């Protein structure tokens, strides 16, 4: 319960996502995607990507134009349909910039991957005004099926802009970081900085790692966001997660293009995966007391076919924030996913 005696959480059951998209693709030449999430009324990927080899006669990478995810956040850039847990880890939920409008470039070779992007537009809901320059590099000495090693570094600089709202009022740039307890069907943020006024610039940094050895895998990530403010002390928030996965039925987590996907079952009764994740987030810095939180999450996934996926998570959350004091909720959540 909250300090005022009210319940912090209620049981809930609804659609977590309802994604509908249209893809047009010519292999080796281009692919175009338009997708929308009806549950939260949010645009997802809306872009055109072209392969340089089809137009320049040699492979100089792929160029993407439109609305897509920024590259700082390993879990964040994973397709939502391929999330290993029901929800992203605490630092990714809080610090990942999300999607922006712009252009990016991806270049892959057997031992490395490079991504770079410049985003000059806000999101398609008209929020997050400003520009972002971002990049990601990863060393991939092993990336055969069932034998993957991926070590990466990502960074971005987001310059926030003033904006004028529909009433003609000019608003100063601001930022806010917070997150839910790795459960998407609640609006309660156990940790939250509140609005950080005068947020002139946000520098994000990320370190990421992935190892896959047959049915076993370990994935981890550290994220940091520093907010440079115009008339207030700067703010820095950071966090990390690490999780282990064991595919009981023997399959391996797939790895393509610098990221992971859903397991494709080989047996008649599908593939079973067991998981354990620890995540931590610190939003306390100087006068900003956004709170600290750490979660343990037990997970189980059943990939019945490549189109049907069932997930169950049990979260042991613990948060300490001046507004609420110490809260230790326990959350059990399940999801059935259909994709085609």
Instruction: Tell me the two tokens of residue 70.
Output: 């920024």
- Mean pLDDT lowest for which of 116-125, 146-155, 277-286? 116-125
**pLDDT single digits (tens) 94-118:** 999 999 999 999 999 999 999 999 9
Residues of the chain with pLDDT > 70, as a percent, come to: 96
Mean model confidence pLDDT for the chain:
92
Contact 95, 224 (CB under 8 A): yes
Residue 123 has pLDDT above 80, yes or no: no
Neighbour-count burial for 214-247, b at 16+ CB within 10 Å, e otherwise: ebebebbbbbbbebbbeeeebbebbbbbbbebeb
Per-residue pLDDT at 10: 79
**Could you tell me the pLDDT band of residue 339, with boundaries at 50, 70 and 90?**
confident
177-202 CB burial, b ≥16 within 10 A, e <16: bbbbbbbbbbebbbbbbeebeebbbb
- Predicted confidence (pLDDT) at residue 213 exceeds the cutoff of 90: yes
Report how far Cα 244 is from the mean position of its chain's Cα atoms.
18
User: Sorting pLDDT into bands at 50, 70 and 90, what band is 338?
Assistant: very high
Residue 122 CB partners (closer than 8 Å, separation 6+): 100, 101, 128, 129, 130
pLDDT, tens digit (0-9, with 9 covering 90-100), for 19-76: 999 999 999 999 999 999 998 899 999 999 999 999 998 999 999 999 999 999 999 9
Closest among 269, 21, 325, 288 to 178, alpha carbons compared: 288
What's the CA gap between 109 and 21, in Å, rounded? 29
Give the three-class secondary structure for 8. Answer: coil
165 DSSP β-pair partners:
none
Residue 268's CB is within 10 A of a number of other CB atoms, namely: 5
């Amino acid at each position: 319960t909250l300090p005022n005696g009210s319940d912090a959480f209620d049981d809930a059951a609804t659609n977590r996502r309802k994604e509908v998209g249209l893809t047009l693709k010519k292999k080796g030449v281009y692919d175009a995607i338009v997708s929308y999430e009806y549950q939260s009324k949010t645009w997802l990927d809306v872009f055109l990507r072209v392969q340089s080899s089809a137009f320049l006669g040699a492979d100089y990478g792929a160029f993407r134009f439109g609305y897509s995810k920024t590259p700082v956040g390993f879990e964040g850039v994973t397709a939502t349909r391929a999330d290993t847990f029901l929800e992203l880890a605490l630092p990714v939920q809080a610090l990942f910039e999300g999607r922006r409008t712009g252009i990016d470039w991806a270049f892959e070779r057997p031992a490395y991957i490079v991504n770079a992007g410049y985003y000059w537009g806000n999101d398609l809901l008209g929020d997050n005004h400003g520009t972002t320059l971002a990049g990601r590099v990863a060393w991939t000495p092993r990336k055969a099926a069932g034998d993957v090693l991926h070590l990466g570094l990502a960074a971005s600089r987001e310059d926030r802009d003033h904006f004028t709202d529909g009433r003609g009022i000019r608003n100063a740039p601001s930022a806010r970081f917070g997150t839910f307890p790795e459960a998407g069907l609640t609006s309660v943020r156990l940790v939250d900085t509140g609005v950080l006024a005068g947020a002139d610039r946000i520098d994000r940094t990320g370190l990421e790692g992935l190892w896959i050895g047959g049915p076993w895998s370990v994935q981890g990530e550290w994220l940091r966001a520093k907010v440079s403010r115009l008339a207030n002390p700067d703010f820095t928030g950071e966090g990390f997660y690490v999780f282990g996965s064991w595919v009981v039925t023997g399959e391996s987590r797939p790895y393509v293009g610098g990221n992971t996907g859903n397991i494709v079952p080989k047996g008649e009764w599908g593939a079973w995966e067991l998981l354990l994740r620890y995540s931590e987030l610190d939003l306390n810095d100087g006068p900003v007391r956004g709170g600290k939180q750490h979660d343990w999450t037990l997970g189980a996934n059943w990939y019945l076919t490549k189109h049907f996926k069932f997930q169950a998570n049990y979260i042991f959350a613990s948060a300490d924030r001046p507004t609420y004091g110490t809260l230790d909720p326990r959350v059990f959540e399940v999801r059935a996913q259909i994709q085609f």
